[in-house]
């Protein structure tokens, strides 16, 4: 979920164009992402297949789950199915048969399966890769916990790690589209009023809510990156502030620790990104340098993306950085010094306030 730290260079844009050309030849991958089983991924995915087929697209089902509820069965009856191959007690996609049949769209319910020993590919995602390379588009389903890049976050919530996972690179490289299948973690409208909400059930519901939130945020950040690429390639400034991005400006003497904590908290609460900058000052005393290092170190420990900016004009350097990153909130502290330096600093704050168009400026109080 990290962003590229700089604006794309012409070379990067060119590479993007080339990737786009490769993409044109390859099949497209669309992923229905759910946070748990039973949220309705299969239904939504297969129903999309049905609609596409009714509009005349050549759609074929290539992988199914062992069991389906009646409403899904009803859709399956309207679709062509290429039977899976049996290997022992398990089933794998019949890749050669699918490539031979060469439909426009292959529906694959459940991306995160490991194929049994003796299969041509170890993992189902490798089967999918083969289909995409053959120019067949794939629509598939996956649960959050099977995405390798979310393993840590999922484990923090559930305490468990999934054994078979989709590697980080695969989805980033291949998925053209991602759709969240959202549903309430607790179906309060259909469940009967229960006698007692046991502690275990509450804990379970809490976990599901957290996973659900994670799924929504993952999709949001994917879209954010796509939007950014789109806007920049169309020569638009990144200025919509859909995702909050918080920038804390530290100096040796500002009340940095509290301000950093507040910035972190705002970033968390607004599900945003967190940046910390320091504008390099030439003549810094030994003591100030030590405090500054301490502050920047603390910022890193709080998970901030830290940068040291160069420039004689601090206000300008900060604003330039803010515009480049699409910052939505700038935190800046009152100076704790006295005399001329303080007037200069106040002047800096006022200039930032005046020029920070489209950005909230948070003037942070003294430490007490």
Partner 1 sequence: MSSSTPTSADSVRDQQPTRPGQLRVFLGYAAGVGKTFRMLEEAQHLKRLGKDVVVGYFEPHGRKDTIAKTAGLEMVPTKTINYRGVDFREMNTEAIIGRRPAICVVDELAHTNVPGSERCKRWEDVQVLLDAGIDVISNMNIQHLESLNDHIFNITGVRVRETVPDWFVKSAAEVVMVDATTGALLNRLKRGDIYAPEKAEQAMQNFFKESTLAALRELALRQTAHELEFREIAEMPEPPEGLSTLSSQKEIRDRILIYVTADPSTAMLIRRGRRMADYLGADCFAVTVSSPRGGRLSVTQDVEGIQKHLNFARNLHIESRTLEGSDPAETIVDFARRNLVTQILVGRPKKQNLLSRLLFTDLVFRIVRKAKDIRVIIVADRRHRPQTASA
| Residues at the site binding partner 1, with contacts judged by CB under 8 A | 30, 51, 55, 177-184, 188-190, 206, 209-210, 212-213, 216-217, 219-220, 223-224, 226-227, 230-231, 234-237, 239-243, 262, 265-266, 269-271, 328, 334, 346, 349-350, 353-354, 356-366, 368
DSSP-based three-state secondary structure for 57: coil
- Closest contact distance (angstroms) between CB of 214 and partner 1 is 8
Q: How far is the CB of 165 from partner 1 (least distance, A)?
A: 23
Provide the CB-side half-sphere exposure for 197 (13 A, CA): 11
Instruction: Please name which of 132, 49, 124, 61 lies closest in space to residue 91, comparing C-alpha atoms.
Output: 124
What is the nearest approach in angstroms of partner 1 to the Cβ of residue 75?
12
Nearest to 214 by CA among 151, 298, 129, 120: 151
- For partner 1, which is the closer residue by CB, 7 or 354? 354
CA distances from 118 to 77, 86, 91, 96, 121 (A): 31, 11, 12, 16, 8
Task: Give Cα 71 to chain centroid, integer Å.
Answer: 32
Among residues 109, 126, 113, the alpha carbon closest in space to that of 60 is found at 109
Q: Which is nearer to partner 1, 214 or 276 (CB)?
A: 214
Q: Using the minimum distance from each CB to partner 1, give the nearer residue, 41 or 124.
A: 41
Nearer to partner 1, 291 or 362 (CB): 362
| Residues 145, 163: Cα–Cα separation, whole Å | 10
Q: Strand 245-249 vs strand 305-309: parallel, antiparallel, or unpaired?
A: unpaired
To partner 1, the closest distance from the beta carbon of 99 in angstroms equals 25
For tokens 């879209």, name the residue. Answer: 223
Compare residues 54 and 293 and give the one whose CB is closer to partner 1: 54
State the minimum distance, in angstroms, from the CB of residue 213 to partner 1. Answer: 5
Residue among 58 and 224 whose Cβ is closer to partner 1: 224
Q: How far is the CB of 56 from partner 1 (least distance, A)?
A: 12
């Amino acid at each position: 979920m990290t962003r590229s730290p700089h604006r794309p260079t012409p070379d990067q844009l060119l590479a993007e164009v080339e990737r786009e050309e490769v993409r044109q030849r390859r099949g497209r991958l669309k992923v229905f992402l759910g946070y748990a089983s039973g949220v309705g991924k299969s239904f939504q995915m297969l129903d999309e297949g049905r609609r596409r087929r009714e509009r005349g697209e050549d759609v074929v089902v290539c992988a199914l789950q062992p069991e389906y509820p009646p409403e899904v069965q009803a859709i399956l009856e309207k679709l062509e199915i290429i039977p899976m191959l049996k290997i022992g007690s398990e089933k794998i996609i019949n890749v050669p048969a699918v490539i031979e049949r060469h439909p426009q769209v292959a529906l694959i319910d459940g991306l995160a399966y490991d194929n049994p020993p003796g299969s041509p590919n170890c993992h189902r995602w490798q089967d999918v890769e083969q289909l995409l390379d053959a120019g067949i588009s794939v629509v598939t389903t996956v649960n959050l916990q099977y995405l390798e890049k979310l393993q840590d976050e999922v484990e923090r919530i559930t305490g468990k790690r999934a054994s078979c996972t989709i590697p980080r690179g695969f989805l980033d490289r291949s998925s053209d589209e991602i759709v969240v299948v959202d549903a309430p973690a607790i179906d309060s409208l259909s469940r009967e009023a229960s006698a007692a909400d046991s502690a275990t059930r509450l804990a379970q519901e809490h976990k599901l809510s957290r996973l659900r939130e994670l799924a929504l945020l993952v999709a949001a950040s994917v879209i954010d990156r796509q939007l950014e690429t789109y806007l920049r390639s169309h020569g638009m400034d990144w200025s919509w502030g859909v995702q909050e991005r918080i920038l804390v400006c530290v100096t040796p003497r500002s009340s940095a620790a509290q301000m950093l904590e507040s910035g972190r908290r705002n970033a968390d609460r607004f599900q945003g990104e967190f940046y910390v900058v320091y504008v390099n000052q030439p003549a810094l005393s030994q003591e100030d340098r030590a405090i500054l290092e301490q502050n920047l170190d603390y910022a890193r420990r709080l998970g901030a993306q830290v940068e040291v900016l160069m420039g004689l004009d601090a206000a300008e350097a900060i604003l330039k950085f803010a515009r480049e990153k699409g910052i939505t909130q700038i935190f800046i502290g009152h100076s704790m010094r006295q005399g001329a330096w303080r007037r200069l600093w106040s002047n800096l704050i006022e200039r930032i306030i005046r020029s920070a168009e489209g950005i909230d400026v948070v003037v942070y109080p003294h430490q007490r």
